[in-house]
Chains A and B, each alone.
Chain A
Amino acid sequence: MAEQSLLEAIREGLHEEMARDPAVYMLGEDVALGGPFGVTAGLAEAFGTQRVVNTPISEGAVMGLAIGAAAVGLRPVIEIMFIDFITLAMDQLVNHAAKLHYMSGGQLKIPLTVRVQCGISGNMGAQHSQSLEAWLAHVPGLKVVTPSCPADAKGLIKAAIRDDNPVVFIEHRGLYWARGEAAGAGAAVTPIGEAAVLREGEHITIATFGRQVAAALEAAAELAPQGISAEVIDLRSLQPLDMDTLVESVRKTGRLLVVHEAVSEGGIGAEIAMRVQQAAFYDLDGPILRLAAPFSPIPASSALDRFFVPGKAEILRAVRGAFRRQGAGG
Chain B
Amino acid sequence: MPEAALHRELLARMWLNRAFEEKVSELYASRVITGLLHLAIGQEAVAVGACSHLRTDDWVLGGHRSHGHAVAKGADVKRLMAEIAGRATGYCGGKGGSMHLVAMDAGFVTATGVVGGQIPLALGAAFAAKEGGRQQVAVVFFGDGAGQSGAFHESLNIASLWRLPLVFVCENNGYAEFTPLSAHTLVERLARHAETYGMPAHTLDGNDLLAVHDAMGKAVSQARAGKGPVFVECLTHRMRGHYEGDPAKYRELSQLAEWKEKDPIARFARMIETRSGLTAAEHGAIEADARARIEDAAQFAIASPWPDADEADTQVSAGHG
- Chain B residue numbers with a CB within 8 Å of A165 are 317-318
A108-B104, A140-B316 known; A103+B119 contact, CB < 8 A: no
A106-B318, A108-B104 known; A60+B95 contact, CB < 8 A: no
A69-B127, A103-B95 known; A164+B318 contact, CB < 8 A: yes
A58-B154, A61-B158 known; A108+B124 contact, CB < 8 A: no
Contact pattern, A 38-77, Cβ under 8 Å of B = 1, otherwise 0: 0000000000001000011010111111111111111010
Cα A58 to Cα B91 in complex, Å, equals 33
- Chain B residue numbers with a CB within 8 Å of A60 are 120, 150-151, 154
Of the residues B92, B114, B319, contact of A107 by C-beta under 8 Å: B92
Instruction: Answer whether residue B241 sits at the interface, using C-beta atoms and an 8 A cutoff.
Output: no
When the two chains form their complex, are residues B155 and A61 in contact, meaning their CB atoms are under 8 A apart?
Answer: yes
When the two chains form their complex, are residues B128 and A72 in contact, meaning their CB atoms are under 8 A apart?
Answer: yes
A58-B154, A64-B155, A71-B125 known; A101+B114 contact, CB < 8 A: no
When the two chains form their complex, are residues B320 and A107 in contact, meaning their CB atoms are under 8 A apart?
Answer: no
Interface residues of A in 72-126 (CB under 8 A from B): 72-74, 76, 91-92, 95-96, 99-111
Give, as a whole number of angstroms, the nearest-CB distance from A238 to chain B.
15
Interface centre among B112, B158, B317 (most CB of A within 10 A): B317
Instruction: Answer whether residue B321 sits at the interface, using C-beta atoms and an 8 A cutoff.
Output: yes
When the two chains form their complex, are residues A61 and B92 in contact, meaning their CB atoms are under 8 A apart?
Answer: no
A68-B122, A141-B316, A164-B321 known; A92+B117 contact, CB < 8 A: yes
Of the residues A56, A61, A72, A143, contact of B59 by C-beta under 8 Å: A72
When the two chains form their complex, are residues B124 and A65 in contact, meaning their CB atoms are under 8 A apart?
Answer: yes
When the two chains form their complex, are residues A64 and B131 in contact, meaning their CB atoms are under 8 A apart?
Answer: no
| Least CB separation from A143: chain B residue | B317
When the two chains form their complex, are residues B128 and A73 in contact, meaning their CB atoms are under 8 A apart?
Answer: yes
| Least CB separation from B127: chain A residue | A69
Report the interface size for chain A: residues with CB under 8 A from the other chain: 45
- Chain A residue numbers with a CB within 8 Å of B91 are 104-105, 107
Interface residues of B in 99-115 (CB under 8 A from A): 100, 102-104, 109-110, 112, 114
Cα A92 to Cα B119 in complex, Å, equals 10
| Least CB separation from A163: chain B residue | B320
When the two chains form their complex, are residues B318 and A68 in contact, meaning their CB atoms are under 8 A apart?
Answer: no
Of the residues B95, B103, B158, contact of A62 by C-beta under 8 Å: B158
Instruction: Answer whether residue B93 sits at the interface, using C-beta atoms and an 8 A cutoff.
Output: yes
A65-B123, A91-B114, A141-B316 known; A109+B100 contact, CB < 8 A: no
When the two chains form their complex, are residues A68 and B127 in contact, meaning their CB atoms are under 8 A apart?
Answer: yes
Q: How many A-B residue pairs have CB under 8 A?
A: 154
A64-B151, A69-B128 known; A56+B157 contact, CB < 8 A: yes
Cα A164 to Cα B117 in complex, Å, equals 22
Give, as a whole number of angstroms, the nearest-CB distance from A197 to chain B.
25
- Chain B residue numbers with a CB within 8 Å of A56 are 154, 157-158, 161
Instruction: Answer whether residue B217 sits at the interface, using C-beta atoms and an 8 A cutoff.
Output: no
When the two chains form their complex, are residues B125 and A68 in contact, meaning their CB atoms are under 8 A apart?
Answer: yes
When the two chains form their complex, are residues A65 and B158 in contact, meaning their CB atoms are under 8 A apart?
Answer: yes
When the two chains form their complex, are residues B100 and A68 in contact, meaning their CB atoms are under 8 A apart?
Answer: no
When the two chains form their complex, are residues B102 and A104 in contact, meaning their CB atoms are under 8 A apart?
Answer: yes
- Chain A residue numbers with a CB within 8 Å of B165 are none
Cα A12 to Cα B141 in complex, Å, equals 40
- Chain B residue numbers with a CB within 8 Å of A109 are 318, 321
Give, as a whole number of angstroms, the nearest-CB distance from B80 to chain A.
13
Cα A65 to Cα B150 in complex, Å, equals 14
Report the interface size for chain B: residues with CB under 8 A from the other chain: 45
Cα A139 to Cα B180 in complex, Å, equals 35
When the two chains form their complex, are residues A164 and B158 in contact, meaning their CB atoms are under 8 A apart?
Answer: no
When the two chains form their complex, are residues A69 and B125 in contact, meaning their CB atoms are under 8 A apart?
Answer: yes
Contact pattern, A 256-276, Cβ under 8 Å of B = 1, otherwise 0: 000000000000000000000
Give, as a whole number of angstroms, the nearest-CB distance from B148 to chain A.
14
Cα A138 to Cα B15 in complex, Å, equals 45
When the two chains form their complex, are residues B124 and A70 in contact, meaning their CB atoms are under 8 A apart?
Answer: yes
Contact pattern, B 125-148, Cβ under 8 Å of A = 1, otherwise 0: 111110110000000000000000
| Least CB separation from A27: chain B residue | B127
- Chain A residue numbers with a CB within 8 Å of B123 are 61, 64-65, 68
When the two chains form their complex, are residues A61 and B128 in contact, meaning their CB atoms are under 8 A apart?
Answer: no
Give, as a whole number of angstroms, the nearest-CB distance from A32 to chain B.
13
When the two chains form their complex, are residues B127 and A64 in contact, meaning their CB atoms are under 8 A apart?
Answer: no
Cα A101 to Cα B36 in complex, Å, equals 21
When the two chains form their complex, are residues B131 and A74 in contact, meaning their CB atoms are under 8 A apart?
Answer: yes
A58-B154, A60-B151, A72-B124 known; A107+B104 contact, CB < 8 A: yes
A56-B157, A164-B318, A164-B320 known; A104+B92 contact, CB < 8 A: yes
Cα A162 to Cα B318 in complex, Å, equals 12
Cα A109 to Cα B103 in complex, Å, equals 13
Cα A62 to Cα B131 in complex, Å, equals 16
A72-B109, A164-B321 known; A64+B119 contact, CB < 8 A: yes
- Chain A residue numbers with a CB within 8 Å of B319 are 164
Of the residues A69, A71, A72, A105, contact of B315 by C-beta under 8 Å: A105
Instruction: Answer whether residue B90 sits at the interface, using C-beta atoms and an 8 A cutoff.
Output: yes
Instruction: Answer whether residue B121 sits at the interface, using C-beta atoms and an 8 A cutoff.
Output: yes
- A56-B161, A58-B157 provided; 7 other pairs, C-beta below 8 A? A56-B154, A67-B120, A69-B127, A74-B124, A95-B112, A101-B318, A103-B102
28 contacts between A and B (CB under 8 A): A58-B158, A60-B151, A61-B119, A61-B120, A61-B151, A65-B121, A68-B61, A68-B126, A71-B121, A72-B129, A74-B127, A91-B117, A95-B112, A95-B114, A95-B117, A96-B117, A100-B102, A101-B315, A103-B96, A105-B91, A105-B96, A106-B318, A107-B91, A107-B92, A108-B104, A109-B318, A140-B316, A165-B318
Nearest first, the 9 closest Cβ-Cβ pairs linking A and B are A64-B120, A68-B124, A61-B154, A105-B92, A69-B124, A68-B121, A58-B154, A104-B102, A105-B93
Residues of A within 8 A of B (CB): 25, 50, 55-56, 58, 60-74, 76, 91-92, 95-96, 99-111, 140-141, 143, 162-165
